[in-house]
Amino acid sequence: MTPGPKQQRLGGANVPVWDGYSLAERDRRWNAVRAGAAQRGFDCIFVPLGNGTDARYLTQLRCSAMALPTDGRPPIVIADRGSRNAWVPEPRLTGRDWAELMAQALLDLGMERARIGVAGLLGGTVSHVRAIDGVVVHTAYDHVLHRLPNATFEDATDVVGMVRYVKSDEEIESLKKATAIAEAGVDELVKQARPGLDAAVLYARVMGRLLRLGSEYYPLALHVDDIDATETVRYTNPPAGRVLQPNTLISSEVSAVWGIQVAQEDQPVLLGRVPDAWKPVIELQREVFQAGLEKMTPGTTMGELIDFVNGFGAGRGLRTAILMHGRGGGDDGPLLTPRVSGQRVRSLRIERGNAWVWKPTASSADGRISFTWGGDVLVTERGGEPLFKRSHGMVEAIGG
């Protein structure tokens, strides 16, 4: 049976929380993190308050902290009052006092003089890639440092991140479900978009479709500007007061969450006919999208993929640029954009089971025309395989 989210009462409120992965999946994750930590010489992996993404990955609980010893002993989990599930049936519950409970968990595990790896202390290679300075709550973390003055604390974001980097079969099934929901959101956007409609209404209808299909809330991102506009605005809230006009180009990032896997589908919609000047750019983007998939074979380095994509349009009077980021908890990498060189991840190798949003960009030589299209892909032995079913191209939505 396909796992699904279950309603649990957390902290006095009914909040939909995922509790659908198997105990075998839990053990796979915990054992992989233990092994990676042991290789780095850590006695324990500590996931403090603030790092909700890694904590949820390891517990399925919405709000938790965790101390996971590498010697095989069970972890100690601190969780928001009322939180428990099959993975963590007996957490240490708290309402507001997290700092002392986190310190006591490490002390109870005998970590007074241990070497402790802290997940989320800094931005990582393939997780927390948008948070260079980390995500931990400083005051609570500082209390832990004072309570364990003889322990050594070091960044271990990549220990958990590299486990998250390769998806299991259960995670892949959840990502496929999330992708299907996101595609339904794209279908709703195409159905509703027409001149004269308030852009905020369009936003609400697409979000409503995603939520009715079971996605957790994840904001839709839209650009709604004339196709010839040189400067555009990105909205992640309903763009109130913006009325769609003929020749409005709607660039969308439609995201859905299932099983803590965040899918994203990118589909441009034009309220008019595609101008002839755009057609060679759109065709080039189709070619580089497909060629990039073929390049994504296990063992290929990110540097090789970056150079291949960025040089693909050379000799045609057009430009191409890599644009992709990892899939999973929403903070995943590697993050590669036309503004991010990817220098620090050039040696990172692609592995079977990687998943990311693949949406390379093609543009005219002067940059006035730019086209991005794509969605979620999974790396197999043969290369990247799309998890979505949409046909490539700009959708023309004239309306009636």
pLDDT, residue 191, reads 96
pLDDT, residue 210, reads 97
- The values of phi and psi at residue 171, to 5°, are -65, -40
How far does CA 359 lie from the centroid of its chain? 14
The residue behind tokens 């699904």 is 4
Type of residue numbered 245: Q
pLDDT, residue 3, reads 44
pLDDT, residue 8, reads 47
Q: Is pLDDT of 11 > 90? A: no
Percent of the chain predicted with pLDDT > 90: 87
Tokens describing residue 368: 């006035």
Q: Is pLDDT of 16 > 90? A: no
Among 12-16, 32-36, 311-315, 370-374, which is the least confidently predicted range? 12-16
| Residue 65 near residue 83, CB atoms below 8 Å | no
pLDDT, residue 15, reads 47
DSSP secondary structure of 171-240: HHHHHHHHHHHHHHHHHHHHHH--TT-BHHHHHHHHHHHHHHTTPPP---EEEEEETT-SS--EESS--T
Among 12-21, 134-143, 231-240, which is the least confidently predicted range? 12-21
Tokens describing residue 104: 């006591």
Domain boundaries, the chain: 5-165, 169-396
pLDDT, residue 399, reads 60
Confidence of residue 398 (pLDDT cuts 50, 70, 90): confident
Confidence of residue 9 (pLDDT cuts 50, 70, 90): very low
Type of residue numbered 167: K
Confidence of residue 12 (pLDDT cuts 50, 70, 90): very low
Q: Mean pLDDT of all residues in the chain?
A: 93
| Residue 282 near residue 360, CB atoms below 8 Å | no
pLDDT, residue 2, reads 43
Q: Is pLDDT of 300 > 70? A: yes
Tokens describing residue 101: 């409970």
pLDDT, residue 14, reads 44
Give the integer Cα–Cα distance in Å for 196 and 200: 12
Give the integer Cα–Cα distance in Å for 261 and 56: 11
Per-residue pLDDT tens for 351-396? 999 999 999 999 999 999 999 999 999 999 999 999 999 999 999 9
Query: For domain 5-165, is the CATH number 3.40.350.10?
Result: yes
3-state class (DSSP) for residue 15: strand
pTM equals: 0.93
Surface-to-core class of residue 375, CB atoms within 10 Å of its CB (0-12 exposed, 13-18 middle, 19+ buried) = buried
| Residue 133 near residue 62, CB atoms below 8 Å | no
CA distances (Å), origin 302, targets 164, 307, 364: 17, 9, 25
Q: Is pLDDT of 115 > 80? A: yes
Higher-confidence residue of 161 and 95: namely 161
How far does CA 208 lie from the centroid of its chain? 21
Q: What mean pLDDT comes out for the span 275-289?
A: 97
Confidence of residue 62 (pLDDT cuts 50, 70, 90): confident
Q: Is pLDDT of 165 > 60? A: yes
Q: Is pLDDT of 194 > 50? A: yes
Confidence of residue 218 (pLDDT cuts 50, 70, 90): very high
CA distances (Å), origin 396, targets 246, 247, 250, 269: 11, 10, 10, 6
DSSP 41: T
Q: Is pLDDT of 127 > 80? A: yes
Q: What mean pLDDT comes out for the span 9-25?
A: 67
Type of residue numbered 95: G
Q: What mean pLDDT comes out for the span 68-75?
A: 97
Tokens describing residue 379: 């790396």
Query: Smallest Cα–Cα separation from 175: which of 386, 372, 349?
Result: 386
Tokens describing residue 344: 């620090």
Query: Smallest Cα–Cα separation from 165: which of 378, 388, 396?
Result: 378
pLDDT, residue 280, reads 96
Per-residue pLDDT tens for 220-244? 999 999 999 988 899 999 999 999 9
169-396: CATH homologous superfamily?
A: Creatinase/methionine aminopeptidase superfamily (3.90.230.10)
**Count of H helices and E strands in the chain?**
9, 21
